[in-house]
Amino acid sequence: MNRIPNSKIEEIQKKSNIVDVISSYINVTKKGNNYVAICPFHDDKTPSLSISENKQLFKCFSCGMGGNVFKFISEFEKTSYINAVNIAAKKIGIELNFENDISKNGDELYSYIKEINIEATNLWSYNLTQSDEAKSYLISRKITKEDIEEFSIGYAPLGSYKLYTYLLNKGYSMHQIFDAGLAKKKDGEILDYFFNRIIFPIKNEFGEIIGFSGRDISNKAGAKYLNSPETKLFRKSLVLYNLNLAINNSRINNTINIVEGFFDVISLYRSGIKNAVGLMGTSFNKELVKKLKKYSKNINLIADNDIPGMNSAIKSYRILNQYFEKVSFILIPDGYKDVDEILSRNKNFFSNESINKLNLTFIEFYYHYLIKKYGVKNINDNLNTRIEFFDEINEELYNVNQVTLDYLRSKISTDLNIELDKVIDYTHLETSNFSIDSYENEYLDEIDNDVSLFQKETYAKATDLLVSMMMNTPSKTKVIFEKLDECNFSTSNEKLNKFLYLLKKNDMSIEKLNSLLKLTEYRDLKRFVEKSSTGKNGEFSLKKLNEVIEIFRNFHTEKACSIIDKKLISAISSNDKNAIEQLMNDWKENQCEVINKHTGIFSGTKKM
């Protein structure tokens, strides 16, 4: 076996700057003499990764991962040490020529699957030339002969085992064909996995066919797209359609465009925008991001023009923004549903010159998403809808500068025909009221001891906030009661129950309640109300109210789970099988497993 001489490894390490190498994968920021970054090796929220340019070492002070430049590449790329040395060498222009020692993608053992995939692609390409139905469908989608050749598009015709028989005749075994995911067993019969579908071969970054996706053309009910099953080569969650061609063209503005569908990718490619990839019906995960990060520093997200598509793009942004220098959005104009529809009606709409001039920042795109979600008319006509709209957009305004904030306020005022002063009031940014650090409340001891201290403190603070919102914003009292009734709100807090009862009994009038609280018999309740509301930031918002309701719901769930837990331990001790079975059912009904993830309850009984 060929080996890389130690002297050559040392040379590569000396010539490699660890800061440059790591910054080619993730965003790094200079801090003092070192650099810091969000650690890619664990679920990092704040920069825990430190990079020393002087020592040429990296270290994460949360998960403990650390080492030299080769270690980082090896862990990030999930490859061998030798392969990491080769990658580092290529980054500084040194060609080692050890390709027969270094696996491109670690799947040489399954080369027969690649061969079978090529044979299947060739057969399906031929089948397409013989099917008028398939050709008519592609023509209706504006797919050209050049598109078919460039993307190796084919057709799997109706028939139980045409491809399977073809591959057997080519000398492949049943097990090999099953390994490739191209046949399946049903009721004891072997059938082709794909039939009556337009076939899109899926290639890895090296241009090798690793799987397929088939688009149904029968117009019958059922899934439009069918992807290859998981195989030794094909993992849908780690695949992007057209990545092999996109990375060859990503040097254009150092950007990759992300769209939802195969036809979107092909339409853009035909328009000269060849640096686009398509999601395979999955959301982004860290492994997929790492793969994409190797080839580009910037991302354009082009979502379908509907709520699910825009929401999916927003979720993708929240992941991608941690790793890429710039993540932008391109908005599909109203009247079109996606990229493919735009370009089928106006082939010059997108170009390499114009596409980056159309991009929006996250907050601009998020604003358009909320407008589509709630509707201008509903925002104007319905107070609750307006509150929800502004609550949602306010959550994102903390991250924008004053210039952007002023621009957005002006745009909202114009688009929604709301006076600018009112928009400013609606977008008044407050510090969150839910900080429970060192929270003190004299009523903590009165709260049930079957819950954790954390839940007790949170419950006490939620109680204060609910009372405070009602006392400090009397005009919202009816809205609050409607929301509480809608959610079947309940509480075991005796004083809070008494407060809510009296308020509701007296027409939800804070003025009438204050008169009652002056009476001697309500002295304790008055003290409770004053303690809960005085000096608190209790201005009403629907977001705060929803948080309060959720906290009360979690509190009662934890209490129920804690009681079940105690009974379960007792039942286990006495070997009462009937009681154990009933309690386990109660456990599931109360979603105690969900609570366990957050609080640690049942850590001793869950493993039974």
Which pLDDT does position 297 carry in this prediction?
Answer: 87
Q: Which of 208, 234, 260 is the last residue of a domain?
A: 234
Higher pLDDT, 407 or 600: 407
Over the stretch 137-147, which tens digit does the pLDDT of each residue have? 999 999 999 99
Element (H, E) at 34: strand 34-37
Q: CA-based angle 396:431:441, to the nearest 5? A: 135
Q: Which domain holds residue 63?
A: 6-91
Per-residue burial over 90-115, b if 16 or more Cβ lie within 10 Å, else e, is ebeeeebebeeebeeeebeebeebbb
Q: How confident is the model at residue 126 (pLDDT cuts 50, 70, 90)?
A: very high
562/603 same-domain check: yes
Which pLDDT does position 596 carry in this prediction?
Answer: 38
Q: How confident is the model at residue 312 (pLDDT cuts 50, 70, 90)?
A: very high
Query: Would the pLDDT of 598 be above 70?
Result: no
Q: Would residue 103 count as lying in a domain?
A: no
Mean pLDDT is highest, among 13-22, 109-118, 495-504, for: 13-22
245/212 same-domain check: no
474/546 same-domain check: yes
Q: Would residue 101 count as lying in a domain?
A: no
Over the stretch 244-254, which tens digit does the pLDDT of each residue have? 999 878 766 78
Query: Would the pLDDT of 75 be above 60?
Result: yes
372/342 same-domain check: no
Q: How confident is the model at residue 156 (pLDDT cuts 50, 70, 90)?
A: very high
Query: Would the pLDDT of 577 be above 80?
Result: no
In this structure, what CATH number is given to the domain that contains residue 18?
3.90.580.10
Query: Would the pLDDT of 397 be above 90?
Result: no
Which pLDDT does position 537 carry in this prediction?
Answer: 58
515/605 Cα distance (integer angstroms): 52
Q: Which of 308, 326, 360 is the last residue of a domain?
A: 360
User: What string of DSSP letters covers 241-278?
Assistant: ETHHHHHHHTTGGGEEEEES-HHHHHHHHHTT---EEE
373/508 same-domain check: no
440/586 same-domain check: yes
359-387: average pLDDT: 92
Q: Would residue 161 count as lying in a domain?
A: yes
Which pLDDT does position 592 carry in this prediction?
Answer: 61
Write the CA distances from 389 to 136, 396, 414, integer angstroms.
Answer: 45, 12, 16
455/546 same-domain check: yes
606/592 Cα distance (integer angstroms): 10
Which pLDDT does position 436 carry in this prediction?
Answer: 34
Which pLDDT does position 594 carry in this prediction?
Answer: 39
Which pLDDT does position 601 carry in this prediction?
Answer: 30
DSSP one-letter code for 282: -
Q: Which of 177, 205, 234 is the last residue of a domain?
A: 234
State how far Cα 100 lies from the chain centre.
38
> Going along 297-374, which residue ranges are E strands?
298-302, 326-330, 359-360
185/262 same-domain check: no
Higher pLDDT, 464 or 417: 417
Higher pLDDT, 447 or 17: 17
Which pLDDT does position 242 carry in this prediction?
Answer: 96
Q: Would residue 96 count as lying in a domain?
A: no
Over the stretch 434-480, which tens digit does the pLDDT of each residue have? 333 333 444 444 445 555 555 666 777 888 888 888 888 887 788 88
Higher pLDDT, 15 or 589: 15
Q: Would residue 244 count as lying in a domain?
A: yes
Average pLDDT, the chain: 83
Which pLDDT does position 18 carry in this prediction?
Answer: 96
Global pTM?
Answer: 0.59
116/170 same-domain check: yes
Query: Would the pLDDT of 2 be above 70?
Result: no
74/208 same-domain check: no
159/226 same-domain check: yes
Which pLDDT does position 487 carry in this prediction?
Answer: 67
The answer to whether residues 37 and 26 touch, using CB atoms and an 8 Å cutoff, is: yes
554-570: average pLDDT: 76
In this structure, what CATH number is given to the domain that contains residue 191?
3.90.980.10
Mean pLDDT is highest, among 97-111, 399-413, 541-555, for: 399-413
Q: Would residue 100 count as lying in a domain?
A: no
489-517: average pLDDT: 79
Q: Would residue 508 count as lying in a domain?
A: yes
Q: Would residue 98 count as lying in a domain?
A: no
Tally the domains of the chain: 5
227/249 same-domain check: no
**Candidate from 150-154, 289-293, 368-372, 428-432 with smallest mean pLDDT:** 428-432
